[in-house]
């Protein structure tokens, strides 16, 4: 069984969560399998082995689960991107539009170094809005985005197309059409 098949066979699908009509793809069953988690980290790291990655930027909260492990595997710093008001130090913020309203994400001002090549990670690529916002935060600090990594991707929501303006190096381990 390849990596995509393994992930799809273990992910839990929850109908009508967080609202009616949505099928939520819950990755927590993956966390119960440490051997598979190690394989997932290897699969996400492999495509970037010849790319200079200076840090992993991961998005709150599910992006932290594998993002930290990926940073550890690549032996680079981990940059948490959090919702507004969740970081204690001086931050830089970026506000972006959602389907109904807007959201703001932040990163600690001193954590991102100008000239760094950043790998942006999250659990899921849907519309690409949050990953694009995290990318803009990195760019505001003078960093470049070397690529994106996701465990799952919902292609019908068009997130990949949105992110290609920043980097075409986009890795998703399990694709849902």
pLDDT at 22: 87
pLDDT at 9: 96
pTM of the model: 0.95
Q: Is 12 helix (H, G, I), strand (E, B) or coil?
A: strand
**Tens digits of residue pLDDT in 45-75:** 999 999 999 999 999 999 999 999 999 999 9
Positions of the chain with pLDDT under 50: none
CA dihedral 136, 142, 147, 149 (to 10 degrees): -60
Q: Which residues are known to be catalytic? A: 62, 99
CATH class held by domain 51-176: alpha beta
pLDDT at 124: 96
Q: Do 95 and 130 meet the contact criterion of CB atoms below 8 Å apart?
A: no
Return the exposure string of 133-163: e unless at least 16 CB atoms fall within 10 Å of the residue's CB, then b. Answer: bbbbbbeebebbbbbbbbbbbbeebebbeeb
Rounded CA separation 171/69 (Å): 16
pLDDT at 98: 78
pLDDT at 101: 80
pLDDT at 100: 74
């Amino acid at each position: 069984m390849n990596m995509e098949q393994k992930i799809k066979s273990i992910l839990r699908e929850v109908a009508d969560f967080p609202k009616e009509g949505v099928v939520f793809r819950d990755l927590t069953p993956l966390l119960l399998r440490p051997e598979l988690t190690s394989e997932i980290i290897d699969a996400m790291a492999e495509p970037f082995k010849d790319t200079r990655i200076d840090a992993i930027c991961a998005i709150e909260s599910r992006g932290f689960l594998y993002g930290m492990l990926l940073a550890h595997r690549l032996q680079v710093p981990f940059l948490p991107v959090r919702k507004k008001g969740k970081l204690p130090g001086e931050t830089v913020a970026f506000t972006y539009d959602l389907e109904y309203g807007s959201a703001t994400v932040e990163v600690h001002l001193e954590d991102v170094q100008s000239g760094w090549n950043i790998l942006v990670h999250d659990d899921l690529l849907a519309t690409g809005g949050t990953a694009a916002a995290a990318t803009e935060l990195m760019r505001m600090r003078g960093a470049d985005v070397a690529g994106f990594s996701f465990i799952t991707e919902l292609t019908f929501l068009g997130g990949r197309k949105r992110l290609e303006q920043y980097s075409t190096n986009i890795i998703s381990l399990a694709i849902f059409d």
